Structure 1
């Protein structure tokens, strides 16, 4: 996820508070104000006396020539580089991002932030908000951290449902109250992830827990931000997963807790745009997937011909990253 720093040099106490509340990762402050930041909350400081120090952890450079570009590429291998462009042109930044990481860029408007985040599709590693005010800080952080792409979901047709025996399944408890039609993308195969519904539906067996998704067994993949996947067994408090609704709108969700318990399981087989796919989930009335109109459908009531939503992609994955390679998963 992109890092957002707010330049609060010269010092403005109210802007540090705004940065904290909005979810910024760091503030740039004068050396004599580092302690003042600590008194307001826990956030990294960038300063001569901060957690990140100029020259050692971070370098600030203006790019005006090809020679500057070479220097930045070299320095970025050792520490973060805050880049300033004289006329805010995209081409120098494209060249840098094609060759280097650890690249931060100064932005003064929401439009500049959007452009920086979209360069070469992957965007810069971080933004430094210049000349900040409270509204600008909130808008840019919202765009960078909480505005995610829409994914095109596909309809899958249920072909069979079988009891699958016992196994360890994972409940993902997030720090977000989800609504009907929302959940996580989970699958046994990286080429098809099923939309598993949150436990936000009233039922006679247990009180709703809208923050929770009973996601599936420990081996399953779950979608996380930046188009990557993780194994459910790897998740822990503080990680981020990607929530999604039935219309494909995504949002990052902070994981607060993960529960792994031994439970009876179901194997669900379906037919998608690229053929047969499957997923394993807990065998329980409260486990639901999402229908084409956003309806929550209990897995124990599935029958052949029922239609649900999933995310289908062609590329395989290696350590959670999409790759163009022949991979067979059954």
Structure 2
């Protein structure tokens, strides 16, 4: 999970206190303050607190020195003279341990450091700013990467018997066109819609995704999790029909026995499947961002899917040969 930090070397505790409170209330990961203020800051709320320290990169020697510091597993706040991307790229490529947290001045700079070399830095830090701007910076971290969703064609629909299905209730309200990526393989995942639409039978529950069978994978950033292992407080990823993503957290998980239905789809020679509850309120998402019920799906219909890495080991992508059906 990417981090967002407030770094504040103010000498007045009253000013620093107000900044720390803003960081807590806008969802920052942590704050870095003068040593004398560390314990005072910790008493204000549940937030990580570190001692203020910045490493400046002005030449290749600085870059190599910081690379060695990262080997100790430290989180390092980094400032670049003249704002150069190349040293950041080099550090990201060289790093095996530790966390790189560059200091940025604008939201645009924050976006750049989170996407440099695709992996990006581990987060970013800002100096004290007005509360509304701090909210904007926090929102950048909540929006994770943009995904390339594809139009997959349904080629098999088959009713199954009763199975255990998982409802994921989040602490976030979702809109039509949003949901979660779920599938029977990490290589091919379907965008399962949130229950954000009203229906004739039940009221909308825009915090919920009726996600599928217990064995299925759910995408959470660069990792996958099994639906059955999700618990309250776990991070999840909300995905919109245009590929925009944001993070949320599980409020609760419900596993209940329900009649199930198997769906298979394909895109560009790659195929995948998902098993969902067989009910009219369970929906996938069309390329136009509309919801389509599994009760209305037909062979030949197109729905949104994500094509990812095939092989996984404890949720992480690995290079190996694997066949999943």
User: Do they fold alike, i.e. is TM over 0.5?
Assistant: yes
Instruction: Identify the match of residue 44 of structure 1 among 31, 36, 48.
Output: 48
Following TM superposition, by how much is the alpha carbon of 1:275 offset from its aligned partner in structure 2, in angstroms?
4.1
Work out whether residues 170 and 215 of structure 1, in 8 Å CA contact, stay in contact via their aligned partners in 2.
yes
Alignment match, 1:293 = 288
Q: How many residues align?
A: 318
Q: How does 1:154-193 map to 2 (within 5 A)?
A: 154-193=150-189
Q: CA 1:45 to 1:264, structure 2 compared with 1: closer, same or farther past 3 Å?
A: same
Following TM superposition, by how much is the alpha carbon of 1:117 offset from its aligned partner in structure 2, in angstroms?
1.9
Q: How does 1:190-201 map to 2 (within 5 A)?
A: 190-201=186-197
Where 2:103 maps in the other structure, the secondary structure is strand
User: What is the rounded CA distance, in whole Å, between the counterparts of 1:220 and 1:238 in structure 2?
Assistant: 19
Q: CA 1:314 to 1:62, structure 2 compared with 1: closer, same or farther past 3 Å?
A: closer
Where 2:197 maps in the other structure, the secondary structure is coil
User: What is the rounded CA distance, in whole Å, between the counterparts of 1:89 and 1:80 in structure 2?
Assistant: 20
CA shift digits 1:140-167 (9 cap, x unpaired):
2222x12333323222222222222232
User: What is the rounded CA distance, in whole Å, between the counterparts of 1:25 and 1:212 in structure 2?
Assistant: 26
User: What is the rounded CA distance, in whole Å, between the counterparts of 2:286 and 2:295 in structure 1?
Assistant: 14
User: What is the rounded CA distance, in whole Å, between the counterparts of 2:249 and 2:34 in structure 1?
Assistant: 31
CA shift digits 1:25-77 (9 cap, x unpaired):
11122344345434543212223xxxxxx7xxxx6422344443333223213
Following TM superposition, by how much is the alpha carbon of 1:325 offset from its aligned partner in structure 2, in angstroms?
4.0
Work out whether residues 189 and 272 of structure 2, in 8 Å CA contact, stay in contact via their aligned partners in 1.
no
TM-score with structure 1 length normalisation? 0.87
User: What is the rounded CA distance, in whole Å, between the counterparts of 1:304 and 1:150 in structure 2?
Assistant: 29
Work out whether residues 7 and 132 of structure 1, in 8 Å CA contact, stay in contact via their aligned partners in 2.
no
1:71 aligns with 2:41: no
More displaced stretch, 67-76 vs 278-287: 67-76
Question: Could you say what the CA RMSD is over the residues aligned between the two structures, in angstroms?
Answer: 2.3
5+ unaligned residues in a row in structure 2: which ranges?
Answer: none
Where 1:163 maps in the other structure, the secondary structure is strand
Q: CA 1:108 to 1:267, structure 2 compared with 1: closer, same or farther past 3 Å?
A: same
Instruction: Identify the match of residue 299 of structure 2 among 291, 304, 307.
Output: 304
TM-score with structure 2 length normalisation? 0.88
